[in-house]
Amino acid sequence: MTQPDNGACAAARQRMAADLVAGRPSEWADAFTSVPRHLFVPRFYQQDTTGAWQPLSWGTPGYLETVYSDAALTTQLDEHGVPNSSSSQPSIMLAMLKALDAAEGHRVLELGTGTGYNAALLCHRLGDANVTSIDIDPGLVDAATGRLLLAGANPTVAVRDGAEGYPDRGPYDRVISTVGLHAIPKPLLQQTTPGAVLVPPLGYGVVRLTVTSPGHATGRFLATPAHFMTRRTDGMAPRFDAALEQSPTDSSVPPADLLGRLKFPASLALPGYTSCTWRNDQGDVDAVGLWTPDGSTAIAHTSGTVRQIGPRRLWDTIEDLAKIFGDEPERDTFLLTVTPARQTVFYADTDGPSWDLPATP
């Protein structure tokens, strides 16, 4: 049951909005103060100490405080119990909305409707007629449409793969994605106006691109660390058993570096990689596994041995990164350029180390 917007909700919302803007003027303060997040997230899931997901809804202790806190909220689990939709962390949403630099009259496309909360914030500031939001999940689009209406917002919401965009409502002045991409989908650039701004998550960061000419865009990453659920695609599962059968090689890069200082550059050099850890009884990392959608898999052990299989030798890339980055690099030192032929991330500048993004977003 969706719950009413009462005084307790309004007070909690005001506190959250005040914490988010932290005394600084923000053109988004009014939206965060006014849009009732709890209407969009009537239920979310939290992991208990055993790792099992427990639902929280209206009336559950802690529900309202958590909904109006700076927390990302898992709102849907797939058939394997893996989260596949969430309401993003409000401070990251605010950072992305600020970076979007949307002004009155701008037409905005959002990829990843999810709960509809971000679409409602956009509607509050820019008006229903200027907001279009798409999601690949028909059930989510249906639920979000109902909740948006309940909250008094009426944007265009449609079921689409974000990689296709939504030409029917373009051209757009601004594109924001709350679903992680591995590269910028070409149709999005074709659906934007000259000078349009795109703010999508890419790897463990968010990039802010300006369209410079048809099919071309460039921009730097935001300083903010971020990780969004990535676009649902059919990637291969990790091939750990096959990797373990390979002869080991030596590596001087500790597995923990992939989880720390190299995490962000690795997400650009190996788009779409996933990692996992094996830990000992004391909880220390024994080994990390990583794999990419093409089935390439590597296992690096703290003893210094590495086993790899597949079309790409993933740990070799991690070793190359370790030579470039002594410390964790600042995200806003990275630059992305997009042309119809190629998408390239550069470190520091266009004559710095670079990595090409895949043709498939």
Ligand X SMILES: C[S@@+](CC[C@H](N)C(=O)[O-])C[C@H]1O[C@@H](n2cnc3c(N)ncnc32)[C@H](O)[C@@H]1O
| Residue 114 found at the interface with ligand X (CB under 6 A) | yes
- Point out which span in 108-116, 270-278, 288-296, 303-311 binds ligand X (CB under 6 A): 108-116
Starting from the edge strand earliest in sequence, which strands make up the sheet with 83-87, in order? 53-57, 43-47, 73-77, 83-87
Of the pair 115, 292, the CB lying nearest ligand X is at: 115
| Residue 162 found at the interface with ligand X (CB under 6 A) | yes
Of the pair 41, 243, the CB lying nearest ligand X is at: 41
Of the pair 153, 243, the CB lying nearest ligand X is at: 153
| Residue 140 found at the interface with ligand X (CB under 6 A) | yes
Of the pair 42, 248, the CB lying nearest ligand X is at: 42
219 and 194 Cβ atoms separated by less than 8 Å: no
Q: CA–CA separation, 298 vs 300, rounded Å?
A: 6
| Residue 202 found at the interface with ligand X (CB under 6 A) | no
Q: Which residues are catalytic?
A: 88
Assign 283 to helix, strand or coil: coil
> What is the separation of C-alpha 80 from the centre of its chain, rounded to a whole number of angstroms?
21
Of the pair 117, 334, the CB lying nearest ligand X is at: 117
> What is the separation of C-alpha 336 from the centre of its chain, rounded to a whole number of angstroms?
17
> What is the separation of C-alpha 181 from the centre of its chain, rounded to a whole number of angstroms?
7
Identified binder of ligand X from the candidate list 34, 74, 91, 118, rule CB under 6 A: 118
| Residue 178 found at the interface with ligand X (CB under 6 A) | yes
Residue 310 Cβ, how far from ligand X at the closest point, in Å? 24
58: amino acid identity, one letter? W
Identified binder of ligand X from the candidate list 74, 87, 192, 251, rule CB under 6 A: 87
Q: Specify the residue for token string 């190996």.
A: 270
- DSSP label at residue 2: P
Look at the alpha carbons of 136, 96, 170, 152 in this order and tell me if their dihedral is positive or negative: positive
CA 195 to each of CA 76, 141, 161, 188, 215: distance values in angstroms, whole numbers, following the listed order: 36, 29, 24, 13, 11
| Residue 115 found at the interface with ligand X (CB under 6 A) | yes
| Residue 117 found at the interface with ligand X (CB under 6 A) | yes
| Residue 275 found at the interface with ligand X (CB under 6 A) | no
Residue in 121, 112, 141, 146 with CA at minimum distance from that of residue 36: 121
| Residue 172 found at the interface with ligand X (CB under 6 A) | no
Of the pair 219, 361, the CB lying nearest ligand X is at: 361
> Among residue numbers 26 through 85, which ones bind ligand X (CB under 6 A)?
85
Residue in 204, 228, 196, 219 with CA at minimum distance from that of residue 330: 204
Q: CA–CA separation, 67 vs 143, rounded Å?
A: 18
Residue 70 Cβ, how far from ligand X at the closest point, in Å? 14
Residue 143 Cβ, how far from ligand X at the closest point, in Å? 10
The binding site for ligand X (CB under 6 A) comprises 85-88, 111-112, 114-115, 117-118, 134-137, 140, 161-163, 178-179, 228-229, 231-232
